[in-house]
A and B are shown apart, each in its own frame.
Chain A
């Protein structure tokens, strides 16, 4: 066991403060033992160090900001972060779903229009085909879908 002297204990208190948990690990036990045996000898040093630690304790504890870890992960290497990856996939998926809804609506509308205006369903004309294409292309969802994948 390390030999502990009064001078060394004073140095430890002066550097690390009054809390033995903060003292150097290899000197902690003999230092704490010496302090326990002669508390009066070190009373002034301990009191002074406690006052300083009390002042330091007034400083606010830094709370980890919400979202900081996610922010760091979002900047992690490409493809190495699942949340960042899902962040990139989600807009494309949303656009695809919007396009599907738009396409379904366009198809339904086209069918209704052909049924209403079309004179002869058995022999579709070039005009009928143009009408279907026009309805499909007029859907905003088609544009969103294209944007989502071009990114």
Chain B
């Protein structure tokens, strides 16, 4: 869909055309949900982010100027909502420190898929926000370098730097922990 077609659909949606609204929602909900789920690791939070993203869209699209692609704009809104939630979550965690867990390795050397996923998720969460976001967009969700750079509002070179540092950091997390190395 080119920009003119996109602008026409947005105009129809703002005018209350149910088909245009449905077209926008079905085209973008899946990818926005996946991004939010990856970043927040919570289905409930990700669903809220999707809802809030579109609520903001409905109030803002009447002033749509078409400076960015709708997809990019929606993803930026979702990303900011995810950052807000992560910030609030961190504040809550800081205010209420969690119980310390035993860091000893699991008795069974063969880690289950679920345990592996939990370790990768923890390692990802330990990365700086921008690196985690860049990795999530490119390595997990398959966005091109240009799409991801647009969403993160950085240059392609800056994105590449975030990705390289993110992968290095992730590797360090997964190999230098007290648990059996994953990679």
Contact = CB atoms under 8 A, between A and B. Distances in A.
A65 B43 contact: yes
Given A55-B182, A71-B47, 17 more contacts: A15-B167, A16-B160, A22-B138, A52-B167, A54-B183, A55-B120, A55-B183, A56-B140, A56-B170, A58-B120, A62-B33, A68-B29, A69-B25, A69-B26, A76-B21, A77-B13, A78-B16
30 contacts: A11-B164, A14-B164, A15-B161, A16-B138, A16-B139, A16-B160, A16-B163, A22-B142, A51-B183, A55-B170, A56-B139, A59-B38, A59-B117, A59-B121, A59-B124, A62-B43, A62-B46, A65-B33, A65-B47, A69-B25, A69-B26, A72-B29, A75-B51, A75-B54, A76-B21, A76-B25, A77-B13, A80-B17, A80-B18, A81-B21
A73 interface: yes
Nearest to A25: B144
Interface string B130-162: 000001001110101100000000001000110
Contact of A71 (B26, B51, B160): B51
Contacts of A119: none
SS class of chain B's interface: helix, strand, loop or mixed? Answer: helix
A69 B29 contact: yes
A85 B46 CA distance: 26
B140 A59 contact: yes
Contacts of A75: 51, 54-55, 58
B73 interface: no
A52 B127 CA distance: 15
A51 B171 CA distance: 9
Interface size class, chain A: 35 or more
